[in-house]
């Protein structure tokens, strides 16, 4: 039983990070209908931003940790907006395939540029939050796991507020539902799309720092697998759906943690893909999404 | 004699000539030649799937892996078992064994392609890209866990059967098969399905059938490329066939122009030679690839080598 | 008497809460040219999509030549002998005009894909036959001069005609035309009407025509069925339909008694 609860906590904290990343995928998919392959590398940049910010804030304190997370979020939001402006906007009317390939290109560019500037070898990530081993009722976990869950929860609540309670948020939802109608209603789609990138990339930045605090070494290719899995999570939850992304992230984090703890741990990375394929084939709309019939 | 068959025959003669004189050629150039040939097989076969049929696949390296492993299983384990020993170099037995290994590699990959193609029928665009990527990764993880085939360490000591002859012949055959399929009334269906599936069905074409055929034929040749690759590098590991390798092939196809066979061949040559020239600045290679991909999409989405917007007229018959 | 060529029995299509085609009964005898009209959103295109297998009925059935079409994939229905055009033109953007017709000729080619690889005489003869027939059709529809033009750079009127040619190239027994005159100028409309009548005669076709232009429908159809909100509200000769109060009401609302089709 304690074993189970232990894995549950581990799974939730991994899932929370997937969820943060998945939110960015789902928002961009909502407004532009394509997989932003570069999102996972924005996440990586977030981790490195944290690495370079850590020495200039009070180390191992809550305030320092918050500053690092906020800083990484800002760096990534900016990066996301730049990518949107220079790589994706010129392709607004191009076929999806071209945008997809461009996104892969941007992803590779960030990885290789990261490799040149940060080096290919893994780097140790400093303890930005106060690190303590906690033990409650026989459960062992680190304070970092608590931090991950708390920060993710706060960000999710904040995102919910932005999307459902602000003007920009309603514009975002309007554009996801029907870009053409939104434009007719006087919404500037470009501004909304940039906003989606700012938000999504900011969350990825926070995710990068949180991931790095829990798995304390980072490298320029660290984003690839978590990124793919977060996208899978977004699909499991129902692509385009914000609660779906959160749900899918947590679910995938749990599944993966429990598989890692079992005798099939070496198949961990294949399981996510197998889930993806099963979902795409049998329930492409995901858990919370709606199926649509193509109009002819 | 029909022109395509004649070209194929000429190419085979060329392959034999290169082989006959290979002893007098600089081995470095022969290696480069083999690299170019393997990439042509990979790119032209992916072009059938992604270019002509519009099924954007990010898992080509996975099928290459299956081909490499299946072929190696034949030449490394099965062959010696049947013959009793490794065949004498250059003899008929060796050629037969390698031929069998190539066919086995292609067939195994084609079966896998069929398995991926059928469930992928309902997906399109970026979803399909993601699923094929997923399949590629699953194949890699399975191979890593398959101790019989060396697990994560892979297989070593593969006999060096790949010669310029085999590579040129395989490249010529790939170009021939894909070209002949596409340039026929039957083959118009590939592009029809790519342009509009519903309209293709309304014209009496079976979109699913075309997609599965494209997948099966394309992955067959990916398997052959893998087999050639394994018997050239003499050692294979699951990690050698990862996502990055798939992307390399995709870059070639995009650079050459989706659906443009000649362009894709030129791009395969260019992109295989490029790293050779860039050796002094090797660490910038990946940056360059990435920038190239973005630049092509922004500035020349039809590919580098598509000079006429008009497509060539129907084949004369 | 033999079975009717096309028979819809109580056919119903639903999208969520919306019943787009509601218990539709429709029968076409061999050789007829029937019009299907109705206001926007009446369910005409949905009925076509149902017949051609793109949608499956929530209830009711569709039979072709006495054979139920339930569960057949769209391309099989084409092979059975039903071809169609699309209201919002769907051509293969990158294929030339000739290649559109050749592609649709696949149902009747004699060489297999393996022949294409061997390039032997069978293959060349089959290809030549397909191309020759395609050229004939193009000539009939005045499209020969656009033979090698990619469809996406074709003028609008020619695109509409190419849709019809592609459908004919599958050698159908029943042809479904979804607003073939939409967007054409008056002169082109007149030519199209003549063409439809000619095709109807020369190809021994049965045609079901959806069209908003009353001039076209009244001019060519022997019988007309009227849909409104998915239901068939009237059926009969052009004369009878012209005077049917239910039809006038469906088009203009309850306060207009006369004068609909007299402009
Ligand atoms: N795939 C779909 N999903 C949801 N609703 C649909 C779908 N296809 C059609 N409809 C709805 O069904 C109704 C009938 O549409 P349909 O296109 O058949 O009308 P129509 O008679 O062809 O109209 P028009 O003259 O404008 O072409 C409309 O209300 C339409 O919005
Ligand atoms: Mg309609």
DSSP-derived secondary structure for A50-88:
HHHHGGGS-TTSHHHHHHHHHHHHHHHHHHHHHHIIIII
pLDDT band at C42 (very low <50, low <70, confident <90, very high): very high
* Overall number of domains in chain C: 2
Tell me the C-alpha distance between C181 and C144, whole Å.
21
Q: A-side interface with C, Cβ within 8 Å?
A: 293, 296
Judgement on whether residues C67 and C124 belong to the same structural domain of the protein: no
Q: Take atom 10 of ligand 1 and give the residue whose Cα is closest.
A: C20
Strands C174-178 and C206-210: parallel
Predicted local confidence at residue B312, as pLDDT: 40
Distance C85 CA to ligand 2 centre (A): 11
Residues 240-279 of A with CB under 8 A from B: 266-267, 269-270, 273-274, 276-277
Predicted local confidence at residue B287, as pLDDT: 85
H or E stretch covering A185: none
For residue C89, the chain A residue with the least C-alpha distance is A296
Neighbours of B316 (CB within 10 A): 9
Judgement on whether residues C97 and C86 belong to the same structural domain of the protein: no
Judgement on whether residues C83 and C185 belong to the same structural domain of the protein: yes
Closest Cα partner for B133 from B61, B64, B66, B226? B61
pLDDT band at C263 (very low <50, low <70, confident <90, very high): very low
CA dihedral over A111, A114, A120, A126, signed as positive or negative: negative
CA B56 → CA A202, A252, B53, C98, distances in Å? 30, 26, 8, 27
Predicted local confidence at residue A294, as pLDDT: 61
What mean pLDDT, rounded, does chain A reach? 90
Predicted local confidence at residue A255, as pLDDT: 94
Task: Output the domain CATH number for residue C18.
Answer: 3.40.50.300
Predicted local confidence at residue B311, as pLDDT: 43
A chain contacts of residue B130, beta-carbon cutoff 8 Å: 35, 231, 235, 276, 280
pLDDT tens digits, A141-174: 888 888 999 999 999 999 999 999 999 999 999 9
Which of C11, C14, C15 for a ligand 1 pocket mutation test, highest count of atoms within 8 Å of Cβ? C15
A52 interfaces chain B, CB cutoff of 8 Å: no
CA B107 → CA B78, B100, B171, distances in Å? 16, 10, 17
Kindly state if the Cβ of C87 falls inside 6 Å of ligand 1.
yes
Judgement on whether residues C69 and C179 belong to the same structural domain of the protein: yes
- For chains B and C, CB pairs below 8 A equal 127
Tell me the C-alpha distance between A119 and C154, whole Å.
54
C170 interfaces chain A, CB cutoff of 8 Å: no
C86 interfaces chain A, CB cutoff of 8 Å: yes
Ligand nearest to the CA of C13: 1
pLDDT at C262 over 70: no
Ligand nearest to the CA of C43: 1
Closest Cα partner for A47 from A166, A128, A113? A128
pLDDT at A226 over 70: yes
Q: Are A224 and A108 contacting, i.e. CB atoms less than 8 angstroms apart?
A: no
B chain contacts of residue A105, beta-carbon cutoff 8 Å: 290-294, 297
pLDDT at C116 over 60: yes
Tell me the C-alpha distance between A127 and A120, whole Å.
21
Closest Cα partner for B241 from B82, B316, B156, B135? B135
Specify the DSSP class assigned to residue C4.
P
ipTM computed for the complex: 0.91
Domain formed by A2-282, architecture: Orthogonal Bundle (1.10)
User: pTM to 2 decimals?
Assistant: 0.88
Residue boundaries of the structural domains of chain B: 3-21+28-240
Judgement on whether residues C28 and C83 belong to the same structural domain of the protein: yes
Closest Cα partner for C196 from C228, C221, C224? C221
Tell me whether residue C258 is in a domain: no
Q: What 3 state SS string does A212-227 have? A: HHHCCEECCCCCHHHH
Kindly state if the Cβ of C21 falls inside 6 Å of ligand 1.
no
What are the start-end ranges of the H helices in chain A? 2-32, 39-53, 62-83, 96-118, 143-165, 167-177, 179-184, 189-214, 224-237, 242-260, 268-282
H or E stretch covering C136: helix C121-140
Tell me whether residue C201 is in a domain: yes
pLDDT tens digits, A122-148: 999 998 888 888 887 777 788 888 899
Ligand nearest to the CA of C14: 1
Range of the domain at C121: 93-153
Judgement on whether residues C13 and C76 belong to the same structural domain of the protein: yes
For B185, the closest of C79, C106, C120 (CB atoms) is: C106
pLDDT at A46 over 90: yes
A chain contacts of residue B200, beta-carbon cutoff 8 Å: none
What are the residues whose beta carbons fall under 8 Å from the beta carbon of B85, sequence distance 6 or more?
none
| Angstroms from B312 CA to nearest CA on chain A | 23
Which of A293, A294, A295 for a ligand 1 pocket mutation test, highest count of atoms within 8 Å of Cβ? A295
Q: Are B221 and B107 contacting, i.e. CB atoms less than 8 angstroms apart?
A: no
C chain contacts of residue B191, beta-carbon cutoff 8 Å: 92, 94-95, 99
Kindly state if the Cβ of C206 falls inside 6 Å of ligand 1.
no
Instruction: Report phi then psi at A139, rounded to 5.
Output: -95, 130
Tell me the C-alpha distance between C222 and C239, whole Å.
10
Distance B305 CA to ligand 2 centre (A): 41
Judgement on whether residues C20 and C141 belong to the same structural domain of the protein: no
What are the start-end ranges of the H helices in C170-237? 186-202, 214-220
CA A95 → CA A293, B271, C51, C75, distances in Å? 21, 25, 31, 26
For B204, the closest of C91, C98, C104 (CB atoms) is: C104
What are the start-end ranges of the H helices in chain B? 3-20, 27-46, 60-72, 79-83, 92-117, 125-144, 164-182, 185-195, 197-202, 207-233, 243-256, 261-277, 285-299
Residue contact B310–C54, C-beta within 8 A:
no
Q: Take atom 17 of ligand 1 and give the residue whose Cα is closest.
A: C45
Judgement on whether residues C97 and C79 belong to the same structural domain of the protein: no
Ligand nearest to the CA of C39: 1
Classified as helix, coil or strand, B250 is: helix
B chain contacts of residue A274, beta-carbon cutoff 8 Å: 134, 138
Q: Are B130 and A104 contacting, i.e. CB atoms less than 8 angstroms apart?
A: no
Tell me the C-alpha distance between B245 and B179, whole Å.
24
Judgement on whether residues C120 and C24 belong to the same structural domain of the protein: no
Mean pLDDT check: name the lowest of B302-306, C39-43, C166-170. Answer: B302-306
Closest Cα partner for B23 from B157, B163, B159, B161? B163
Tell me whether residue C38 is in a domain: yes
Residue contact B314–C98, C-beta within 8 A:
yes
Tell me whether residue C118 is in a domain: yes
B chain contacts of residue C86, beta-carbon cutoff 8 Å: 199, 202
Predicted local confidence at residue C229, as pLDDT: 93
A88 interfaces chain B, CB cutoff of 8 Å: no
Judgement on whether residues C180 and C86 belong to the same structural domain of the protein: yes
CA dihedral A172, A174, A177, A179 (to 10 degrees): -90
Residue C36: left if φ>0, alpha if ψ -120 to 50, beta else—which one?
Answer: beta
Q: Take atom 31 of ligand 1 and give the residue whose Cα is closest.
A: C41
Using the CB atoms, write b or e for B57-88: b if 16+ within 10 Å. Answer: bbbbbbbbbbbbbbbbbbbbeebeeeeeeebe
Predicted local confidence at residue B1, as pLDDT: 55
A34 interfaces chain B, CB cutoff of 8 Å: yes
Which of C14, C44, C181, C214 for a ligand 1 pocket mutation test, highest count of atoms within 8 Å of Cβ? C44
Residue contact A108–B131, C-beta within 8 A:
no
Tell me the C-alpha distance between A251 and B254, whole Å.
36
B chain contacts of residue C84, beta-carbon cutoff 8 Å: 202
CA dihedral over C219, C220, C222, C225, signed as positive or negative: negative
DSSP B3-54: HHHHHHHHHHHHHHHHHHTGGGS-HHHHHHHHHHHHHHHHHHHHIIIIIIS-
pLDDT band at A295 (very low <50, low <70, confident <90, very high): low
C64 interfaces chain A, CB cutoff of 8 Å: no
Tell me the C-alpha distance between A201 and A84, whole Å.
11
Closest Cα partner for A208 from A57, A103, A119, A76? A76
Token pair listed for B116: 């991926």
Q: Give me the tens of pLDDT residue by residue for chain B, a chain 317 residues long.
A: 567 788 888 888 888 888 878 778 888 888 999 999 999 999 999 999 999 999 989 899 999 999 999 999 999 888 888 877 777 777 788 888 999 999 999 999 999 999 888 877 877 777 888 888 888 888 888 899 888 888 889 999 999 999 899 999 999 999 999 999 999 999 999 999 999 999 999 999 999 999 999 999 999 999 999 999 999 999 999 999 988 889 889 989 988 998 999 999 999 999 888 877 877 777 787 788 788 889 988 988 888 887 654 444 333 33
Residues 222-251 of C with CB under 8 A from A: none
Specify the DSSP class assigned to residue C65.
T
Token pair listed for B133: 């990527």
Instruction: Report phi then psi at A217, rounded to 5.
Output: -145, 140
Specify the DSSP class assigned to residue C149.
S
């Amino acid at each position: 039983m304690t074993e189970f609860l232990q894995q549950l906590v581990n799974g939730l904290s991994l899932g929370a990070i997937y969820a943060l990343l998945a939110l960015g995928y789902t928002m961009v998919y909502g407004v532009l209908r394509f997989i932003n392959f570069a999102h996972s590398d924005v996440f990586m940049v977030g981790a490195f931003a944290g690495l370079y910010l850590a020495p200039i804030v009070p180390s191992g304190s809550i305030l320092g940790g918050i500053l690092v997370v906020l800083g990484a979020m800002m760096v990534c939001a900016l990066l996301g907006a730049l990518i949107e402006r220079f790589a994706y906007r010129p392709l607004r009317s191009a076929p999806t395939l071209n945008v997809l390939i461009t996104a892969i290109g941007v992803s590779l560019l960030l990885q290789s540029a990261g490799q040149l500037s940060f080096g290919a070898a893994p780097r140790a990530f400093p303890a930005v939050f106060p690190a303590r081993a906690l033990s409650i009722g026989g459960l062992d976990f680190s304070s970092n796991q608590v931090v991950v869950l708390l920060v993710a929860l706060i960000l999710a609540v904040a995102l919910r507020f932005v999307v459902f309670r602000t003007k920009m948020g309603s514009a975002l939802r309007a554009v996801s539902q029907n870009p053409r109608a939104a434009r007719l209603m006087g919404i500037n789609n470009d501004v909304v799309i940039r906003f989606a990138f700012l938000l999504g990339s900011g969350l990825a930045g926070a995710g990068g720092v949180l991931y790095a605090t829990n798995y304390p070494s980072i490298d320029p290719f660290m984003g690839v697998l978590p990124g793919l899995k977060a996208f899978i999570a977004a699909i499991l939850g129902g692509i385009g759906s914000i609660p779906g992304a959160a749900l899918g992230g947590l679910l995938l984090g749990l599944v993966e943690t429990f598989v890692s703890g079992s005798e099939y741990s070496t198949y961990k990375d294949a399981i996510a893909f197998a889930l993806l394929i099963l979902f795409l084939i049998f329930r492409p709309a995901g858990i919370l999404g709606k199926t649509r019939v193509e109009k002819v | 004699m029909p022109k395509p068959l004649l070209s194929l025959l000429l190419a085979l003669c060329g392959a034999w000539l290169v082989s006959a004189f290979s002893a007098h050629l600089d081995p470095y150039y022969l290696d480069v030649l083999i690299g170019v040939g393997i990439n042509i097989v990979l790119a032209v076969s992916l072009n059938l799937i992604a270019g002509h049929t519009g099924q954007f696949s990010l898992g080509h390296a996975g099928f290459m892996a299956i081909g490499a492993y299946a072929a190696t299983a034949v030449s490394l384990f099965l062959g010696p078992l049947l013959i009793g020993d490794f065949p004498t170099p250059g003899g008929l037995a060796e050629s037969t064994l390698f031929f069998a290994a190539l066919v086995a590699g292609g067939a195994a990959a084609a079966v896998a392609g069929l398995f991926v193609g059928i469930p992928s029928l309902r997906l399109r665009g970026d979803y399909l890209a993601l699923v094929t990527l997923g399949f590629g990764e699953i194949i890699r993880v399975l191979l890593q866990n398959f101790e019989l085939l060396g697990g994560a360490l892979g297989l070593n000591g593969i006999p060096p059967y790949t010669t310029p002859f085999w590579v040129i012949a395989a490249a010529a055959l790939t170009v021939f098969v894909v070209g002949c399929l596409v340039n026929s009334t039957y083959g118009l269906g590939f592009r029809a399905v790519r342009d509009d599936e519903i309209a293709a069905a309304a014209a009496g074409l079976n979109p699913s059938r075309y997609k599965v055929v494209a997948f099966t034929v394309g992955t067959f040749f990916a398997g052959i490329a893998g087999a050639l690759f394994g018997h050239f590098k003499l050692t294979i590991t699951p990690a050698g066939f990862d996502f990055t390798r798939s992307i390399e092939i995709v870059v070639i196809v995009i650079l050459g122009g989706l659906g443009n066979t000649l362009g894709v061949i030129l791009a395969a040559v260019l992109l295989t030679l490029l790293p050779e020239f860039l050796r002094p600045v090797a660490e910038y290679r990946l940056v360059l690839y990435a920038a190239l991909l973005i630049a092509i999409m922004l500035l020349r989405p039809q590919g580098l080598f598509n000079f006429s917007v008009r497509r060539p007229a129907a084949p004369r018959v | 008497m033999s079975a009717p060529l096309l028979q819809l029995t109580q056919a119903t299509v639903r999208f969520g809460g919306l019943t787009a085609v509601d218990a539709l009964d429709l029968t076409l005898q061999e050789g007829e040219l029937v019009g299907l009209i109705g206001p926007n959103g009446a369910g005409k295109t949905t009925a076509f999509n149902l017949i051609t297998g793109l949608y499956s009925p929530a209830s009711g059935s569709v039979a072709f030549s006495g054979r139920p079409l339930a569960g057949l994939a769209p391309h099989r229905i084409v092979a059975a002998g039903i071809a169609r055009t699309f209201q919002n033109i769907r051509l293969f953007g990158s294929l030339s005009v000739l290649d559109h017709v050749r592609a649709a000729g696949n149902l009747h080619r004699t060489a297999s894909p393996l022949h294409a690889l061997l390039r032997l005489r069978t293959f060349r003869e089959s290809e030549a036959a397909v191309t020759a027939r395609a050229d004939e059709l193009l000539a009939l529809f005045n499209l020969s001069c656009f033979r090698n033009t990619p469809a996406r750079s074709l003028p609008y009127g020619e695109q509409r005609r190419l849709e019809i040619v592609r459908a004919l190239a599958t050698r159908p027994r029943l042809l479904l035309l979804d607003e073939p005159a939409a967007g054409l100028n008056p002169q082109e409309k007149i030519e199209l009407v003549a063409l439809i009548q000619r095709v109807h005669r020369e190809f021994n076709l049965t045609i079901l025509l959806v069209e908003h232009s009353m001039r076209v429908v009244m001019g060519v159809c022997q019988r007309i069925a009227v849909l409104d909100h998915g239901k068939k509200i009237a059926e009969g000769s052009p004369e009878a339909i012209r005077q049917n109060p239910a039809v006038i009401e469906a088009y203009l609302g309850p306060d207009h008694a006369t004068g609909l089709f007299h402009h």
